[in-house]
Amino acid sequence: MRKPSIMFQGTGSSVGKSILTAGISRVLKNRGLNVAPFKSQNMALNSFITADGKEMGRAQVVQAEAAGIEPKVHMNPILLKPSSDVGAQVILMGEVYKNMDAREYHAYKPKLKKLVKSAYEMLEREHDCIVLEGAGSPAEINLREDDLVNMGMAELCDCPVVLIGDIDRGGVFASIYGTYMLLEDNEKERVKGFVINKFRGDITLLTSGIEMLEGKIGIPCLGVVPYFRHHIDDEDSVSLRFGEKKNKDVKIGVLKLPHISNFTDYTPFEMEEDVEIRYIKSSYEFEGIDFLIIPGSKNTIEDMIYLKETGMKEQVLKLHKKGVPIFGICGGYQILGKKIIDYGNYESRVNEIDGLGLIDSITTIFQGKRTEQVNGKLCFDYFGNKLRDRVSGYEIHMGVTELKEDINPMLILSTGEREGAVKDGGLVSGTYLHGIFDNEEPRKTILNAIRKDKGVENGKATESFSQFKEKQYSQLGEVLERSLDIDKIIGIMKG
């Protein structure tokens, strides 16, 4: 007997599937249900390492947090991490399988059905109900054969479907209608309702359009979700946050690399009222930056080539000469070094390249991938401030960085290993630790040093990042309770 379930599919990418899945998970949790999220296949560079060292998509981690449970790789059995315009690293049940181009992976998909079904059934055994997320749109008729993530997945687990349309983009009635009409008859039978997302204005102005659409496709509207700002991790770099512009006292620059990964490393800064995050996309956008972050990368060598060709390398070095602190995370840490070597062509066709040269180090890319949660004790000084707290995070990287100079580490891991590097009191810093800024001491110390230098007051944020996230999930749940017919959704889940 199948457990109650529901699947949110969209009329396209970035219509709000991930966030609404998280929100419904929180609502069901609040109603006393042990709920688990599930997405069979994720394509994203934003990933996480579970307690047992498995790699999974960050979106399902967020949804698990909203549901109040520990993330498990079964929630995202297939993760595709694009490494080029046509190829991706294929990760199955949290472990790297191999690199494949699009055609090779499409031919391989039929063999993955058993893996996906097994992962889903494990979650069914352990939880009261499952909230599933689709990918892109189910109306991609060229990809219907051997589909594992939209209607193919709904059929595999015998799950009802709700369509989500984004009215903020315009054309929401046409997109919902067109998506529904492109489905096969047996797929249409699975669709039990639709949701209009990101609405601004007077909801009564929608009533006539909703009634007309309900009449044309014969399924009900389950609610209209208002547009509201939140600070919940997005699924991937399609996120609209890359276009946001603000004017705050503290300006943190993040290089918008072509293969940027784990951009949620910087989400904790968003809880600070006086902090602005600028995603730098050209050599003309470096003015006024107080602190520069070079982020993680799925293809470090190619992104280093990009920095050189766009003139951004020169601008980074100019910032360094001006005394602006530069902080590299994972691939960004590798880029800070003198050289990156990939003789096995595991990430790039280029065998080696010079880095920024701000740290005397050489990174060699190997086939093996380090994936584990880590913790340790900070052991460095940042512009006269001693950092000594214990911190935790996770590592996801190919390659080993060898320091060629006597340099202070950022922390000592619980294993006794020296991790990261800090030069000139914090003028240049690098670490492999994703989630470093989730920890209070490094984030607060860096921000307060910038504030002191600029002569502005310290920020007012007092809660921890975990408390901040919990508040965001609670607010999301409250919005959905008010705007959706939750009782009807639960009825659909029960069949």
Q: Is 129 a catalytic residue?
A: no
Ramachandran region of residue 288, left (φ > 0), alpha (ψ -120 to 50) or beta?
left
Cβ atoms of 302 and 471 within 8 Å: the answer is no
What's phi and psi for 261, nearest 5 deg? -135, 155
* Catalytic option among 74, 127, 320, 434: 434
3-state secondary structure the chain: CCCCEEEEEECCCCCCHHHHHHHHHHHHHHCCCCEEEECCEEECCCEEECCCCCEEEHHHHHHHHHHCCCCCHHHCCEEEEECCCCEEEEEECCEEEEEEEHHHHHHHHHHHHHHHHHHHHHHHHHCCEEEEECCCCCCCHHHCCCCCCCHHHHHHCCCCEEEEEEHHHCCHHHHHHHHHHCCCHHHHCCEEEEEEEEECCCHHHHHHHHHHHHHHHCCCEEEEEECCCCCCCCCCCCCHHHHCCCCCCEEEEEECCCCEECHHHHHHHHHCCCEEEEEECCCCCCCCCCEEEECEECCHHHHHHHHHHCCHHHHHHHHHHHCCCEEEECHHHHHHCCEEECCCCCCCCCCEEECCCCCCEEEEEEEEEEEEEEEEEECEEECCEEECCEEEEEEEEEEEEEECCCCECCEEECCCCEECEEEHHHCEEEECCECHHHCHHHHHHHHHHHHHHHCCCCCCCCCCHHHHHHHHHHHHHHHHHHHECHHHHHHHHHC
Residue-wise over 130-145: b if at least 16 C-beta within 10 A, else e?
bbbbbbbbbbeeebbe
Closest CA to 108 of 93, 92, 86, 121: 92
Q: Is 127 a catalytic residue?
A: no
What's phi and psi for 468, nearest 5 deg? -60, -45
Enumerate the β-bridge partners of residue 56.
48
* Catalytic option among 129, 159, 221, 330: 330
Enumerate the β-bridge partners of residue 38.
132
Residue showing tokens 């107080």: 290
Q: What are the catalytic residues?
A: 330, 434
